[in-house]
Amino acid sequence: MGPAPAHWDLAVVGAGPAGAATALGALHADPRLRVALLDRADFPRDKACGDGVAPHVLDLLAEVGATGLVEDRVPVGRLRIGRGGLAAERRTARPAWVVPRRILDARLVDAALAAGARFRRHRVRELRQHTGAVVLDGEISAAVVVGADGAHSAVRRALGRPRGPSALALRGYAPVAPGRRGAQVIEFGTRHQPSYAWSFDRGDGHANIGYGEVLHTGRPAPTRAQLLERLDVLLPGAAEGGRDWTGHHLPLSTAHWRPPAGRVLLAGDAAGLVNPLTGEGIYYAVATGIAAGRAAAAARHEGRPERAGEWYARATRRILLPHLRHTALAARLARGRLVLAAGLRASAADQRVFDDLVELGLARGRLTPTVAFGLGRALLAPTRPTGRSREPA
């Protein structure tokens, strides 16, 4: 027999935003916990993403002691959303940041290590649940395990949980076009639905650019060349001088998300949590990661680590379930050309509608009465020629 596996109070598989937030949530609740943060890569490392960091993400991280993460970055205070010649561009209620994941993730790992987590480079291939612990690859034993290992999560597969709907996206970096400086730009597709292209100004002369679309059963996934072609159609010239192209899958959330019970939890992309309207996943990753860490700490303190799933379900139900129902409905409505156009016209006409839709797409917002009234008014209004609508100067 080999040596006994090293034992931890909590083992976190994956050290991206969801995993680092899990460690931070657990150690903020109980600094004495033994927390292992596992990842197959060393940090810093690149990760395909739109790189947008909503202010809500920073609020959550500050609650668990992680601050100063974007102080050297340039805030982006404008958002432009368009489709087929119609657009709404306004200043957001609070600015966002565009931080390459190579930078953001390394800073979050550093914050988790400063809080007391231990990092170990390890690729998890096998998970076995025993009466008193969960064992990873016969080497690492933990009272609670959190799978934060992304869209192709090994932990999710070990639990036998199926994948839900997904999208495919291609991301690169290119010099920011003059007309898109100082803004996050989203242009919805008119042919391949649902789809959109984006250009997010990093504030350093370059933008994170990309294109993504929902995958459909029975239809072949688009090739890299097709993704680039569709990006250029929606945002002409955005890809000029582009580099560091990489593709990634986005596991889209639904109205029927249910977290697993027991000692093994899932957070972020591993839990199938990406906003189906915007492809945003960092807020969900951090929110569910912190909730998972707190649940692990609470269950350990209670002396019942097998109840971690109950604590986690209780917290995430409060944080996410109403929001997920609303985003699922909004995503279905947005597939209709008339509804999406009405949303753009209503956002251009009313800052409150714009703000509520941004909240729905970036954090934990809902379809508010303000949005419903704005959509209804725009749908009933006489059809006007398409054009670019912006807030008054």
Q: What is the pLDDT of residues 191-236, one digit of tens each?
A: 877 899 999 999 999 999 999 999 988 889 999 999 999 999 999 9
Q: Of 87, 76, 55, which is closest to residue 391 (Cα–Cα)?
A: 87
Give dist(CA 337, CA 194) in Å, integer.
Answer: 11
**pLDDT tens profile 84-113:** 999 999 999 999 999 999 999 999 999 999
The whole-number pLDDT of residue 381 equals 82
pLDDT over 50 (residue 393): no
Give dist(CA 49, CA 54) in Å, integer.
Answer: 14
The whole-number pLDDT of residue 335 equals 86
pLDDT bin (cut points 50, 70, 90) of residue 386 is very low
The whole-number pLDDT of residue 193 equals 75
pLDDT bin (cut points 50, 70, 90) of residue 6 is confident
The whole-number pLDDT of residue 246 equals 95
**pLDDT tens profile 345-362:** 999 999 999 999 999 999
pLDDT bin (cut points 50, 70, 90) of residue 65 is very high
Give dist(CA 264, CA 215) in Å, integer.
Answer: 29
**pLDDT tens profile 9-41:** 999 999 999 999 999 999 999 999 999 999 999
Domains of the chain: 7-47+101-164+254-324 (3.50.50.60), 336-380 (no CATH)
Mean pLDDT over residues 304-324, rounded?
Answer: 94
Q: Of 272, 362, 366, 274, which is closest to residue 323 (Cα–Cα)?
A: 366
**pLDDT tens profile 246-278:** 999 999 999 989 999 999 999 999 999 999 989
pLDDT bin (cut points 50, 70, 90) of residue 114 is very high
Q: Of 323, 16, 330, which is closest to residue 150 (Cα–Cα)?
A: 16
pLDDT over 60 (residue 387): no
The whole-number pLDDT of residue 3 equals 62
- Cβ within 8 Å of residue 164, ≥6 positions away: 251, 252, 253, 254, 272
**Percent of the chain whose predicted confidence (pLDDT) is above 70:** 96
pLDDT bin (cut points 50, 70, 90) of residue 337 is confident
The whole-number pLDDT of residue 115 equals 98
